[in-house]
Amino acid sequence: EAGVTQFPSHSVIEKGQTVTLRCDPISGHDNLYWYRRVMGKEIKFLLHFVKESKQDESGMPNNRFLAERTGGTYSTLKVQPAELEDSGVYFCASSQGLAGSPGRVEQFFGPGTRLTVL
């Protein structure tokens, strides 16, 4: 079974440019999450999709970030325009299980996209 995949693995852009990151979750996983890790800091939650709906986007830093999950399959995260502080590793994760379930809901992570904004 294929795991969570992310594209690209690395992206180097200049301040003010636009970048779109893609995540393909494990097939059949309704829950999809985006996280970001800035160097030296912890992994931070950005948002959570259940199928195509945004369940929780409380972690999105500002309106320069736009996430979509059309059709409830893959997801994209667009940063426009990119700023220096957006540099970091962007992880995607997916899980089975119902949103709001109090039980164990294991998240499977992708390898991340390393974004560098110059």
Q: List interacting residues with other proteins (CB under 8 A).
A: 3-4, 33, 35, 40-45, 48, 50, 55-59, 91, 99-112
| Minimum gap (Å) between residue 90 Cβ and other proteins | 12
Specify the residue, 17 or 43, whose C-beta has the smaller distance to other proteins.
Answer: 43
| Minimum gap (Å) between residue 104 Cβ and other proteins | 5
Contacts of 19 (CB under 8 A, 6+ apart): 11, 13, 78, 79, 80, 82, 115
| Minimum gap (Å) between residue 89 Cβ and other proteins | 9
Specify the residue, 5 or 20, whose C-beta has the smaller distance to other proteins.
Answer: 5
86, 37 Cβ separation under 8 angstroms: no
Specify the residue, 13 or 99, whose C-beta has the smaller distance to other proteins.
Answer: 99
101, 41 Cβ separation under 8 angstroms: no
CA dihedral of residues 99, 31, 48, 86 (deg, nearest 10): 160
